[in-house]
Amino acid sequence: MSAFKIVILPGDGIGPEVAAAGRLALETIGDVFGHNFTFEEKLIGGIAIDTVDDPYPADTDAACLAADAVLLGAVGGPKWDLKPKRPEQGLLAVRKSMGLFANLRPMDVAPSQAFRSPLKEEIVSGADMLIVRELTGGLYFGKRTRTETTATDECLYTVAEVERVAHVAFQAARKRRNKVTSVDKANVIETSRLWRETVNKLHAAEYSDVELEHALVDSMAMHLVTRPKDFDVILTENMFGDILSDLASVLPGSIGLLGSASLGSTGKGLYEPIHGSAPDIAGKDLANPIGTLKSVSMMLRHSLNLTKEADTLDAAIEAVIKAGTLTRDLGGTTSGSQVAKAVSDQIRIQAKVEA
């Protein structure tokens, strides 16, 4: 039996709903496999602004830094839009404070589920990619200025920042289909030229066994939905990765299906679905919890070293999807909490199958 300290940051909108699904899965895994997970729920985002006037309170930071792993729901909502203190600052702050420079966003379309895509089945069926998004640099972290008539956002990247995330992408490719597509806008932007040069140098020095190609972000958006099966690992900077991963979520049929791991140089990580707080469906038990459950599976694998448990959770998720127990975004009629319960029940069944 092992003991793990998990911090949960439910946040805003559908955040608390999907975070509850993640917690239930962890509780069930703990029960079935005999692990002692202790949970601490902390404030972040809009609810933290409302409660303590700070999107990332100091005690949330301390708890995240002391945890074995952190699970995030989502932050943000119209209530806080255009206010000087924004919920999203909380999310940027936790990523920065924990040093989480690489955000891994896997996307795959199982052939049996390809019919759920709004795109043609033959285009998406079997697509399987990993987006490696730089997470603590670029436009989201640059200096901003504002007067009544002008605004600027600085986009800064250093060679060291590009190298450390490129290592993650090349190493991930070696465990997959050995191909990296690095995405930039090097025909226009200076940071992209630095990005491309740095990736090329690192490739030549350490990863010449991995196939490397470069793509410009605008045409890449088109290629992602017209020939997604050509891509394995996609390496890109912060904002491009944010946008391209939401686009990639169209392939399996819903943004609610994609999870992510935000990692740094230690084993600790922040695990978060790729979607936002979805104010349009919040509080209605309509949110698809699968992206969060996949994030929990990544947590088990990457931070807690619980491979068997992660495999069991993956099998449980797959069984629930195959049974058609789905939320409205995927054409189903099941509530989010019922999907979470179905996955929890399946964890018990799958664990017996594997034993």
Ligand X SMILES: NC(=O)C1=CN([C@@H]2O[C@H](COP(=O)(O)OP(=O)(O)OC[C@H]3O[C@@H](n4cnc5c(N)ncnc54)[C@H](O)[C@@H]3O)[C@@H](O)[C@H]2O)C=CC1
Residue numbering of the annotated binding site for Mg(2+) = 218, 242, 246
Angle between helices 336-354 and 15-33 (to 10 degrees): 20
d(CA 273, CA 142): 24
- Window of 87-95, 167-175, 280-288, 317-325 that interacts with ligand COI by CB under 6 A: 87-95
Q: Give me the catalytic one of 232, 242, 271, 329.
A: 242
User: Is residue 88 part of the contact set for ligand COI (CB under 6 A)?
Assistant: yes
User: Is residue 261 part of the contact set for ligand COI (CB under 6 A)?
Assistant: no
Minimum distance between the CB of residue 204 and ligand X, rounded to whole angstroms? Answer: 35
User: Is residue 340 part of the contact set for ligand COI (CB under 6 A)?
Assistant: no
Q: Give me the catalytic one of 50, 81, 209, 218.
A: 218
| Nearest partner of 245 among 266, 214, 276, judged by Cα | 276
d(CA 336, CA 311): 22
Beta 269-271 vs 261-263: how paired, if at all? antiparallel
Report, in this order, helix, strand and coil percent for the chain, each rounded to 5: 50, 20, 35
Contacts with ligand X by CB under 6 A lie at 14, 18, 74-77, 88, 91, 255-256, 272, 275-281, 287-288, 291, 329
3-state secondary structure 231-270: CCEEEECHHHHHHHHHHHCCCCCCHHHCCCEEECCCCCEE
- Residue 92 interaction partner, one of ligand COI, Mg ion, ligand X, none, beta carbon < 5-8 Å per kind: ligand COI
User: Among 12, 184, 242, 272, which residue interacts with Mg ion (rule: CB under 5 A)?
Assistant: 242
Read off the amino acid at residue 288.
N
User: Among 18, 29, 67, 92, which residue interacts with ligand COI (rule: CB under 6 A)?
Assistant: 92
User: Among 134, 161, 242, 309, which residue interacts with ligand COI (rule: CB under 6 A)?
Assistant: 242
| Nearest partner of 90 among 52, 120, 119, judged by Cα | 52
Query: Is 185 designated active site?
Result: yes
Annotated binding site: 95, 105, 133, 218, 242, 246, 276-288
**Number of neighbours of residue 201 by Cβ within 10 angstroms:** 14
- Residue 278 interaction partner, one of ligand X, Mg ion, ligand COI, none, beta carbon < 5-8 Å per kind: ligand X
Q: Which residues bind ligand COI (CB under 6 A)?
A: 88, 91-92, 242, 274
Residues acting as catalytic residues: 140, 185, 218, 242, 246
